[in-house]
Structure 1
Amino acid sequence: MNLHLAAVALNQTPLDWPGNEARVRAALDEARAGGASLVCLPELCLTGYGCEDAFFAPATWQRAWRMLEDLLPATRGMVVAIGLPVFHQRALFNGCAVAADGELLGIAAKKNLAGDGIHYEPRWFKRWPDGVRDELRLDDGRSVPIGDLLFEVGGVKIGFEICEDAWVADRPGAKLAARGADVILNPSASHFAFGKAGIRRRFVTEGSRAFGAAYVYSNLLGNEAGRIIYDGQLLVAQNGHLVAESPRFGFADHRVLAVTVDLDAGRLAMARSANHRPQLPATADAGLVRGDFDWPEVAAAFHVALPCDTGDEGQCEEFTHAVTLGLFDYVRKSRSNGFVVSLSGGADSAAAACLVRLMFDAARAELGDGFGGKITAGDFAEVLLTAYQSTENSGPVTRNAARVLAEALGATHRELDVAAIHKAYVGMIGEAYGEELNWEEHDIPLQNIQARVRSPGIWMLANLRNALLLSTSNRSEAAVGYATMDGDTSGGLAPLSGIDKHFLREWLRWLETTGPVIGGERRTVPALAAVNVQQPTAELRPGEQGQTDEGDLMPYEVLDFIEGAAIRDRKSPREVLGLLKVAFGDRPEATLLQWTKRFFTLWSRNQWKRERYAPGFHLDDENLDPKTWCRWPILSGGFREELEQL
């Protein structure tokens, strides 16, 4: 038996009821037009995955249920899996409704909840126990089955692994195979992280082989709720082979991946397997939900491992496509009129400006000059305004680098002289303090005020344009608090906060000479040569002092190594020092000791700063954002005893 099925990616927004419903309808229309008779939508696609504590509001799950009822007529002629929260027995469950030809058959409930890293599903949902089935009472007095269900629709058995269900050791798919599942649907909300696409391919293809079923994987797409980016990867596999895969990323509202599979191939594979242990008698299976449906006849297909565009890219390419998609959705969903960047001429602000340009080019290449009506912009100068803000310690190198880069990108560029404002603050506070301020005794206050006097002007420019101000702090700086609160941290979004400085500098060199593929061709920014040639510096001390970031802290390569060992791997100061001696054995031991003490001291002292940073994007499994990944006490012992014993 051949079955034409489809996996769907959706770019949803939490609690956007009309918009979410319209996008579901559009995707179903496209799937129907393509001849698909079985359609898998993503996890929690009606509400949006990122509703946070709005899931606790009865209005949220009640409204989602009304949307489901409104959508049922749109499923006529198809079998459709639709993700939504379901309230049952005074508990909320992450469910997937199955509708066949306009009728609701039942709700499959998620068994394994994602509760690590950025995920907090156990805060809102309860896991459904294995092997349990119940009846969900509806408002009109009817009831539908809910729980650990296998659906038999028109002789085709359909089971579920909902997102995290496929990431655990004891996958539900094994029991579904014993119960005779022909198709396993995986509606997911799987966030982007470097290298994650390959992991998904492996469990989808291996699941199709081990479970003897066609395996269909759907996902969300875009920046749904602010911090998390979804790459929209869609996968279909059978008999251990990847049959089809969609491109990742993209600026469309939805994407449909349709393919024909031969269910008899999976049935034959299980019949041949000496280790297949069918559950008998099948008719006694209490979790089986039957529904009538006439599957349309589909022409036979040639089923072997088809060549698929896996979309494997280097980390620089992945970073570019993920962050540009994140920026595009953030600016349109926040209803902002573009971006503003305080362009210092250094690496971080240059990266932020370049990412906005790449976002503009990629969106226009896919959606056309009108951007599909998603954002309003005639040319790039309307999208990005940059400003170089000089004090008496600013030099011609950074001023020139900022101007050259802004011109090359096509941004609206301004130069603001804030030296007089800076000087007035220093004089005013010196008089109030009762002594003249000097660099020998008042180094940090004199540095910080320079960063802070730049904030009001750049905020005002952002307000005048109703634009989104981008802050430019990276993860390395966040780890040690090498940033001025209400200065260079000012902004509504921090697109670089998930990336370390060592990688960021590599990306800038790559962008200067190689660049990402956009619209079928490589895009480079040669003007970055003026930035990449510089040694990173805050440029807050007088020029004769030769201030550099790495001089103030330590080499960024070392800083990022310590951060990974101490925060990601939870190593103690003594263990970190031992690792440093191995990895950087060519450095003096006294220097390694100094760097270790500096990192742990600054890390503990600056948690309050990390709590106040603007929202950023989650890009890997080393995020320092205390709201989505790395929680740490604001007040602590600061490793004082551990550092004294080194």
Structure 2
Amino acid sequence: MGRKVTLATCSLNQWALDFEGNLERILKSVEIAKTKGAKYRLGPELEICGYGCADHYYESDTLLHSFEVLRKLLESPVTQDIICDVGMPIMHHNVRYNCRVIFLNRKVLLIRPKMTLANVGVHRELRWFSPWNQTRQVEEYFLPRMIQEVTGQETVPFGDCVLSTKDTCIGSEVCEELWSPNSPHINMSLDGVEIFTNGSASHHELRKANQRVNLVTSATTKCGGIYLYANQRGCDGDRVYYDGCAMIGINGDTVAQGAQFSLEDVEVITATLDLEDVRSYRGEECHPHLATGLKPCHRVKVDFSLSSSGDIFLPTHEPIDWSYHTAEEEISLGPACWLWDYLRRSGQAGFLLPLSGGVDSSSTACIVYSMCVQICRAVDVGNSQVLADVRRVVGDEAYSPKDPKELCGRIFTTCYMSSENSSTDTRNRAQELASQIGSSHLSINIDLAVKGILGIFSAVTGMFPKFRVNGGSHRENLALQNVQARVRMVLAYLFAQLCLWARGKPGGLLVLGSAILTGYFTKYDCSSADINPIGGVSKTDLKSFLSYCVDKYQLTALRGILAAPPTAELEPLTDGQVSQTDEADMGMTYSELSVIGRLRKISKCGPFSMFCKLIHMWRDALSPAEVAEKVKRFFRMYSINRHKMTTVTPSYHAEVYSPDDNRFDLRPFLYNTRWSWQFRAIDGQVPTTEKAPGLDALQKP
């Protein structure tokens, strides 16, 4: 009697609406799985159309083309003699569902709709799909004629059901259902399901991988069983990066781990496991009395075995320790892979970055350099897809990248845009970093353009604005700073379009941004760009990342950049030295701003509740009155500047506290900036707090 099963799961770099490419990658994964002896292949969530189709899910075309791909899969000889589990959208009774379709040998076995939808943060699944909330209920689904012609079936089971083979029972979860407090695997295990599958589209966030792994291992620790986890990989057309991490576990142990970050479009991992190990584990650990009163799973029977009678000598996979990346490694790898997908799929010839010599733009430059490192490594190990893509990007069919610095010079242009207010130190820091990473570096002086624009204003109005240090008003001072910043944006796009033309080369460049989620930000300045790889990363993490790059890539220029005070350099120098700093202009440090921002976004604090938390968090440094002033200043500036968030460059999503734009953070952009009621509540609390018992615990030392 057979008892050992070989199972396959995968990470696929699918692209929204790229039906042809998605089909090719699915077929390749099935082919690899069969080569490795697998009898069951699990793929990512909505892999046929790509997860990030967004409002394209409303279009009948998306449903039609998904079924056309499914037909190709059913007809392909590659998918024969292996159970294939794919993800696609399906309409049933005029309702759209996010579904798993399981088929074998040109027959659809069952369709399992997702029951718990992701609808927080970057997810909007309830906008496009409905959850299947009929637990343990199954209906007949009438297949489209194009599928009936292949399968000979008119209807198939649709609903909350499981697959029963001759030797085991398999049940599906879909992404968010694993994170639910009432995950389906619990009741399925109590009803004897031995293999759980999860086709997911889980995006990367810093320090998130351990949560995912813990959920999988805890599922089989509690219930016993085998767990297969598949995931999307790459940038499928939006700000998120799906980070793979396909895995297979059994009885609380991980036995196979896929890469978290990789330029491989198709990665398949397999494991051979003993079903008797599940049964033995459950014999001691499970609690059959908990199943009392539960309605049994609807079982769809199939005349097929995952095991074979002669598998006694087949070795099984042993437990492994999961290997996690540090946060600094995640910043180095995740945004770099995201940038590569964006570049190769955009049809452009490289990137252009305004490099100021500060932490933010230097971090973006280091991520591009890390991307070049990953490309060279992928080519070195024989990744033909990466080689073909890089040849197309550089416009040279004979090119083979060997050195990241040389590749960087071909696809990355940096430019230092100086003005009369720029210091020699920042110019030198930018030049030194560009030299160390190998970018094609330009030095551009913007004074002529700034004077020309101000000349137009003067000719029309007869007025000429002055900086504050020269006797000008606050309005004049701010306008003179902003015109410099916005001229840089115009020049960045001009050079991105034409600098390759000036060198006699084809193509254009994507403009990279470097504004971070808490920082110094001018609307339509050089932070306006095509994409921004660091927009969702905190200043604290960026500094740690640059320190990591000093050691990892020997970029010693970063030491001076880390040591320098952050400054926009938009006001006149004093004796040749910078007199303006970002933190002084903002009225708080980046560290304080990060804490305040997290309280507002993650902890959902308004002004008063934030004040109540911060008087304790900052009691060793600030008095209640000083805390109140910082909170009120933040909310004034937040509401004054909220309109800027409607124009923020699409940024790599790195944290729950991520780009505060109106696509991700659904708050108004026109506020009453006085916050009269809220600030009165804070002001009324300050004297009470200062007179409260334990006053000395809340006072500034």
Query: By the TM > 0.5 criterion, same fold?
Result: yes
User: Which residue of structure 2 aligns with residue 566 of structure 1?
Assistant: 600
Structure 2 Cα separation of the partners of residues 259 and 286 of structure 1: 26
For the 8 Å contact 1:180–1:278, the answer to whether it is kept is no
Partner of 1:266: 278
How many residues are aligned here? 632
Residue identity in the other structure for 2:60: P
Q: Which amino acid is 1:388 matched to?
A: Y
Distance in 1 separating the partners of 2:235 and 2:603: 28
Stretch of structure 1 that moved more, 227-236 or 618-627: 618-627
2:648 maps to 1:613: yes
* Distance in 1 (alpha carbons) for counterparts of 2:554 and 2:677: 50
Q: Does 1:241 find its partner at 2:253?
A: yes
Partner of 1:550: 583
Is residue 132 from structure 1 mapped to residue 137 from structure 2 by the alignment?
A: yes
Contact 2:335 2:533 in 1 (8 A): yes
1:224-283: per-residue Cα shift (whole Å, max 9, x none)? 22211111001111112112212211001111111101112112322334612486999x
Once superposed, what is the RMSD of the aligned Cα atoms? 2.1
Per the alignment, residue 513 of structure 2 pairs with 471
Change over 3 Å in CA distance of 1:123–1:274 after alignment to 2: closer
Distance in 2 between the 1:27 and 1:625 partners? 37
The amino acid across from 2:40 in the alignment is: L
Contact residue 223 and residue 286 of structure 2 kept, 8 A: no
Contact 1:262 1:301 in 2 (8 A): no
Partner of 1:373: 388
Whichever residue aligns with residue 140 of structure 2, its letter is E
Partner of 1:189 in structure 2? 201
Partner letter of residue 579 of structure 2?
Answer: G
Name 2:298's counterpart in structure 1.
287
Preserved contact between residue 419 and residue 447 of structure 2 (Cα < 8 Å): yes
SS of corresponding position for 2:481 = helix
Letter in 1 for 2:132: W
Q: CA separation in 1, counterparts of 2:236 and 2:94? A: 28
Aligned-pair CA distance for 1:475: 0.6
Q: Which residue of 1 aligns with 2:62?
A: 60
Query: In the alignment, is residue 495 of structure 1 matched against residue 500 of structure 2?
Result: no
Whether the 8 Å CA contact 2:272–2:317 is kept in 1: the answer is: no
Asked if 1:315 corresponds to 2:319, the answer is no
**Equivalent position of 2:349 in the other structure:** 337
Q: Distance in 1 between matches of 2:530 and 2:304?
A: 51
Is the 2:273–2:317 contact (alpha carbons within 8 Å) kept by the matching residues of 1? no
| Structure 1 match to 2:4 | 2
Local SS of the residue matching 1:225: coil
Say which SS state the counterpart of residue 184 (structure 1) adopts.
strand
Aligned: 1:642 with 2:667:
no
- C-alpha spacing 1:45/1:418, structure 2 compared with 1 (3 Å): same
Q: Residue 333 of structure 1: CA displacement?
A: 1.6
> What is the match of residue 520 of structure 1?
none
Query: Would the aligned equivalents of 1:133 and 1:286 in 2 still touch at CA under 8 Å?
Result: no
Percent identity, please: 28
Partner letter of residue 550 of structure 1? E
The more displaced of 441-450 and 482-491 is 482-491
Q: Which amino acid aligns with 1:14?
A: A
Give the counterpart of 1:91 among 86, 91, 95: 95
Q: 2:163 aligns with which of 151, 173, 178?
A: 151
**Change beyond 3 A, Cα 1:205–1:303:** farther
Please give the TM-score of this superposition, normalised by the length of structure 1.
0.94
Q: Which amino acid aligns with 2:86?
A: I
Alignment of 1:533 onto 2:563:
yes
Tell whether the 8 Å contact from 1:192 to 1:230 is kept in structure 2 after alignment.
Answer: yes
Structure 2 gap segments, 5+ residues each: 149-153, 400-406, 501-507, 684-701
Q: Distance in 2 between matches of 1:574 and 1:97?
A: 50
User: Residue 190 of structure 1: SS of its match in structure 2?
Assistant: coil
Shift of 1:436: 2.5
1:590 to partner: Cα distance: 4.8
Aligned to 1:134, what secondary structure does the other structure show? strand
Find 1:104's aligned residue among 85, 105, 108: 108
Range with bigger deviation, 525-534 or 448-457? 525-534
| Contact persistence 2:272–2:315 (CA under 8 A) | no
Contact 1:100 1:291 in 2 (8 A): no
Rounded Cα–Cα distance in structure 1 between residues aligned with 2:90 and 2:290: 31
* Alpha-carbon distance, 1:285 to partner: 5.2
Residue of 428, 434, 442 corresponding to 2:462: 434
Question: Any idea what SS the aligned residue of 2:452 has?
Answer: helix
Report whether the alignment pairs 1:424 with 2:452. yes
TM-score normalised by L of structure 2:
0.87
**Secondary structure of 2:52's match?**
coil
Q: Which runs of 5+ in 1 are unaligned?
A: 516-522
Cα 1:587–1:295 shift into 2, 3 Å: closer
SS of the residue corresponding to residue 375 of structure 1 reads helix
**Distance between the aligned counterparts of 1:29 and 1:277, measured in 2?**
42
The CA deviation at 1:196 is 1.6
